[in-house]
Amino acid sequence: MAKTAGFCFGVKRALDMAFDIAKKDACTCTLGPIIHNPQVIKKLEDAGIAPVEDIDALKDRKVSSVIIRTHGVTIEQIEELENSEITVIDATCPFVKKAQNYAKLLKEEGYKVVILGNKEHPEVKGLMSYAGDDVMVVDSPGEFKKVRGKVGIVVQTTQQVETLKELISSAVENCKDLKIYNTICNSTALRLKETTEIAGTVDVIIIVGGKNSANTTQLASLCNELEVASYHIETADELETQWFEGAETVFITAGASTPEWIIDEVKERIEGIGGETR
């Protein structure tokens, strides 16, 4: 069992806030899914808090308050909400918040802001809105186009530091003034590190977490690079007996948004296939 599996600080904080509100206020929603784990979202919906897609949908539902997801939203959305009757409960992960502030600071200091991250991810969409019109988003260092002058880099919190190093090496060739905020969160870094260190000593790795979760898919793609048999599942139901044929050691890890009850179920199901847990 990975020591680093499961809820990180930001996810735990956001869910505590959400379930707390669920007890008090029947008339609230989250703007987008609060975290990227469909099973947790389902539980929250059962407790009365549904995710809605945009602010118009909030208005249609006449909610009194809205919870901002861990990944944050755009500055324009925050401003629109602040000008409305709806109360904002900000569950943005404090580390994402930090990255947003750095993006804003870089823009104000006249840097061209480069974000290392996936431009389709809500965290990056939020970051972009703070970085100014001139922002460049690169998903991989190869996408970086030569820029001279002042370049400031911020990073989606779930990226790998090795990718950041490659991007910087590319940028420093031409940029005489380069400012980097390494906003990769420690929780992500430690999870990736633990998996890297253990990969060579196990036969199979099971990665548990949302298929839409950036940090979980980072874990899964790391395992692919490490060339160890690995499977990314959301729940125990996806496990297949043949994955474990001839395997002596299985490593179970999970993303920052994967709840303990799902990890436990996976562990028990694998034990049932015939094993013991260390």
Catalytic residue set: 123
| List 179, 198, 264, 265, residue binding a second copy (CB under 8 A) | 179
Interaction pattern, residues 142-161, with a second copy; x per rule: CB under 8 A: -------------------x
Q: Is 173 in the site for a second copy (CB under 8 A)?
A: yes
Q: Is 110 in the site for a second copy (CB under 8 A)?
A: no
Q: Is 197 in the site for a second copy (CB under 8 A)?
A: no
Residues in the chain: 278
Q: Is 172 in the site for a second copy (CB under 8 A)?
A: yes
Judged by CB, which is closer to a second copy: 173, or 276?
173
Q: Which stretch binds a second copy (CB under 8 A): 115-123, 176-184, 199-207, 226-234?
A: 176-184
Find the helix packing angle between 9-24 and 94-108, rounded to 10°: 110
Q: Which stretch binds a second copy (CB under 8 A): 24-32, 172-180, 208-216, 224-232?
A: 172-180
Least distance between a second copy and beta carbon 92 (Å): 18
Judged by CB, which is closer to a second copy: 33, or 152?
152
Judged by CB, which is closer to a second copy: 93, or 233?
93
- The torsion angles phi and psi of 5, rounded to 5 degrees, stand at -75, 150
Residue 235's alpha-carbon distances to 212, 242, 265, 267, 270, in angstroms, are 14, 17, 8, 11, 12
Q: Is 131 in the site for a second copy (CB under 8 A)?
A: no
Locate 103 and state its tokens: 């993006």
Least distance between a second copy and beta carbon 171 (Å): 9
Judged by CB, which is closer to a second copy: 9, or 181?
181
The answer to whether the CB of 222 falls within 8 A of the CB of 195 is yes
Which ranges of the chain would DSSP assign to H, the alpha helix? 9-24, 38-46, 55-61, 75-82, 94-108, 122-130, 161-171, 186-199, 214-225, 260-274
| List 37, 183, 230, 257, residue binding a second copy (CB under 8 A) | 183
- Give the Cβ contact number of residue 58 at 10 Å: 21
Burial class (CB in 10 A: 0-12, 13-18, 19+), 242: exposed
- Give dist(CA 264, CA 185) in Å, integer: 25
- Give dist(CA 107, CA 110) in Å, integer: 5
Q: Is 164 in the site for a second copy (CB under 8 A)?
A: yes
Number of residues that bind a second copy (CB under 8 A): 16
Least distance between a second copy and beta carbon 245 (Å): 39
- Give dist(CA 267, CA 2) in Å, integer: 11
Q: Is 177 in the site for a second copy (CB under 8 A)?
A: yes
Least distance between a second copy and beta carbon 198 (Å): 20
Sequence-ordered list of residues with C-beta below 8 angstroms from that of 245, at least 6 positions apart, any chain:
none
Which residues inside 223-242 make contact with a second copy, applying CB under 8 A? Answer: none
Task: List the one residue out of 156, 165, 211, 166 whose CA is nearest residue 188.
Answer: 156
| List 18, 180, 220, 263, residue binding a second copy (CB under 8 A) | 180
Give contact residues for a second copy (rule: CB under 8 A). 161, 164-165, 168-169, 172-173, 175-183
